[in-house]
Amino acid sequence: MVMFESLSDRLGGVFDRLRGRGALNEADVRAALREVRIALLEADVALPVVRQFVDGVTEKAVGQSVLKSITPGQQVVKIVNDALTEMLGSDAADLDLDVTPPAVVMMVGLQGSGKTTTTAKIAKRLTEKGRKKVLMASLDVNRPAAQEQLATLGTQVSVATLPIVAGQTPVDIARRALQAAKLQGFDVLMLDTAGRLHVDQALMEEMRAVAEISTPHEILLVVDALTGQDAVNVATNFSQQVALTGVVLTRMDGDARGGAALSMRAVTGKPIKFVGTGEKLDGLELFQPSRVAGRILG
Ligand code: GDP
């Protein structure tokens, strides 16, 4: 990323004067972590999460012996990078659908986050790679043409969608989808719930009611990677209402540094499972913590 100075470069100056010292002292580490703090804020990590992270790393770094083979600056970058990777999750986490079928996957998130597109991308992946028989249903009765949008995507990825019946509530549709999935022997049922521009009570109640009757095995929160300081609110609100099992971060093909990944992980405690890497329906990858850590630090 040309537009950001890399963390190693930033730290170079701070640490030039430290060469040859025995251990990282608190003042040195604090000076270095001021740069880390700026890098994280520039990467869109939410402020409370930045604080929590920087405090943790300071504690870890102070008093560490300075390794002979690398500069103190490189050493702090390594400590920060390791801490970031650990916090983001050590391994790629795929969906866990090992249940008596149909396994229900519920997609939640704000409108425009990429929820419907991601539903189709995951369905495509499960069909092609996992050889699963997948049924998708849109529960969005607010946005005109939302159900048709999913049907169109379904045709594009050769995945079945629940026939549209006008006038049904989201709970009615979920019930009908579940019955259809059971009767027709589908392995996976993906429920694309309605989004709103902002978190609101009606959306949350509707989402809870759907979760109650469909007992999803996975509930994935879809978040735009460009969600900045608001990421904490989004994650907090959704995770208070339903038992999230993971997060999908969309639009990582853009110039987002991906700090939302850290915010999401810190607030929900749940793994980021996938990243969206394009508008096309094959633009979905398993989340790689170390790769995103590098991107956040620049
Ligand atoms: P929803 O309102 O949350 O269901 O959002 P949509 O699925 O309708 O997506 C909104 C827009 O974002 C569409 O134009 C999608 O093509 C686009 N989109 C979704 N995921 C990605 C992604 O990973 N990268 C890019 N570049 N665009 C995406």
What is each CA distance from 90 to 53, 146, 235, in whole angstroms?
16, 36, 21
Going by CA atoms, what residue is nearest to atom 26 of ligand 1? 278
**Ligand 1 near 279 CB (within 6 A):** yes
For 30-87, the pLDDT digits (tens) are 888 888 899 899 899 999 999 999 999 888 888 777 776 677 777 788 888 889 988 8
Q: Determine whether the annotation assigns residue 16 to a binding site.
A: no
Q: What residue's CA is closest to ligand 1, atom 20?
A: 114
How many residues are recorded in the chain? 298
Distance 81 CA to ligand 1 centre (A): 30
Query: Ligand 1 pocket, 89 CB below 6 A?
Result: no
Q: How far is CA 137 from CA 20, 96, 131, 223, 243, in A?
A: 63, 20, 19, 20, 20
Tell me how far the alpha carbon of residue 279 lies from the centroid of ligand 1, in angstroms. Answer: 6
Tens of pLDDT along 239-273?
999 999 999 999 999 888 889 999 999 999 999 99
